[in-house]
Chain A
Amino acid sequence: MEITISKYIKIENNTIWLNGEKVFSAGPDTDFGTFMKVLYRRYAVKYLKFFKMDNLSKLGFLASEILLAGQGLVKHYPNDKIGVFLSNSNSTLDIDQQYYDLIKDSDNYFPSPALFVYTLPNIMIGEICIKNKFRGESATFIMKEYDPNITVDYIKNLFLQNKIKVCIAGFVDYTKDNYDAFLYLAENTELLNGIAHNAENINNLYYQRE
């Protein structure tokens, strides 16, 4: 079996690289919230639930939307064979802090259910799956820094067991000071110019800059 990476995306520093090529950049002074709105409109996402998401989910969701544009995954694969596997360093620390700030005053205690639902990092995967109707295996890995060595064998085994036929995987991290999204599409097919799915190649793509 040959698992290959057919497409990948990196979003960092208000810039998007698709398959290693810079495709869009906003000014360095653009704040994260504005950058997300700019991408939402630029890529004509049309999904109002996006505005209710926390920052981590917005980042992962938009990265997946741009990565999957034109792919038609659910037309080519059964829904339950499409997996999503994301890694992350800071879990949901940003929204955890927001939620804590909201409830810390016992005299003004109005917990927000809409914030609370985002205090689990796998909700980001849920948002991607709901939008795209993916129903396959999924997992979120929390690690100090992105290390594809940890996830590559896990994903490979799921392919070997025929649990998945395609997956989106990568790293999506958000803190109020920094953010980073790297997603790739891996398929069990020998594509022309496909990149073999191994930790070395994934690391090269992750750190790749034009």
Chain B
Amino acid sequence: MEELVEKLKKEIIEQLNLEEIEPDDIDPATPLFDEGLGLDSIDALELIVLLEKEYGQKIEDPKKGKEILYSVNTIAEFIRKNS
């Protein structure tokens, strides 16, 4: 799980062009949106693309998107459960 979290951090930085952020700057439990990395709605869509492209995972229920994309930990948990 820890390995997946670290991999996700790197992928999020690359996919979202978080130029001045290092993987160690991301607390996997901190909310990605609003506070934390301050991501926006376009970033959320990019994360959905990332999940589909890299992990073949689709968020089937849009209502659960907010919960799944809450933090790096919740994304990792979603991938783990569905793999």
Report the separation of the CA atoms of residues A117 and B42 in the bound assembly, to the nearest whole angstrom: 8
Residue A28 CB within 8 A of the other chain = no
Given known A-B contacts A114-B42, A114-B43, A52 and B17 have beta carbons under 8 A apart: yes
Given known A-B contacts A110-B52, A110-B53, A48 and B45 have beta carbons under 8 A apart: no
Give the interface size class of chain A. 10 to 19
Whether B20 lies near A48 (C-beta < 8 A) is: yes
Whether A48 lies near B49 (C-beta < 8 A) is: no
Residue B61 CB within 8 A of the other chain = no
Residue A113 CB within 8 A of the other chain = yes
Residue A78 CB within 8 A of the other chain = no
Q: Given B18, B38, B49, which contacts A110 in the complex, CB threshold below 8 Å? A: B49
Whether B20 lies near A114 (C-beta < 8 A) is: no
Residue B4 CB within 8 A of the other chain = no
Q: Given A48, A51, A112, which contacts B46 in the complex, CB threshold below 8 Å? A: A112
Given known A-B contacts A51-B18, A51-B19, A52-B16, A114 and B52 have beta carbons under 8 A apart: no
User: From residue B78, how far is it (CB to closest CB) to chain A in Å?
Assistant: 18
> Which A residues from 110 to 136 make CB contacts under 8 A with B?
110-114, 117
Per-residue 0/1 for B44-67: is the Cβ within 8 Å of any A Cβ (1 yes, 0 no)? 011001001100000000000000
User: From residue B11, how far is it (CB to closest CB) to chain A in Å?
Assistant: 13
Whether B46 lies near A113 (C-beta < 8 A) is: yes
When C-beta atoms are compared, the residue in chain B nearest to A108 turns out to be B53
Report the separation of the CA atoms of residues A117 and B21 in the bound assembly, to the nearest whole angstrom: 23
User: From residue B58, how far is it (CB to closest CB) to chain A in Å?
Assistant: 12
Whether B49 lies near A112 (C-beta < 8 A) is: yes
Interface pairs A-B: 6 shortest CB-CB: A51-B19, A113-B45, A110-B53, A52-B17, A51-B17, A114-B46
Can you sample 23 A-B contacts with CB below 8 Å? A37-B19, A48-B18, A48-B19, A48-B38, A51-B17, A51-B18, A51-B19, A52-B17, A52-B42, A110-B49, A110-B52, A110-B53, A111-B49, A112-B46, A112-B49, A113-B45, A113-B46, A113-B49, A114-B16, A114-B42, A114-B45, A114-B46, A117-B42
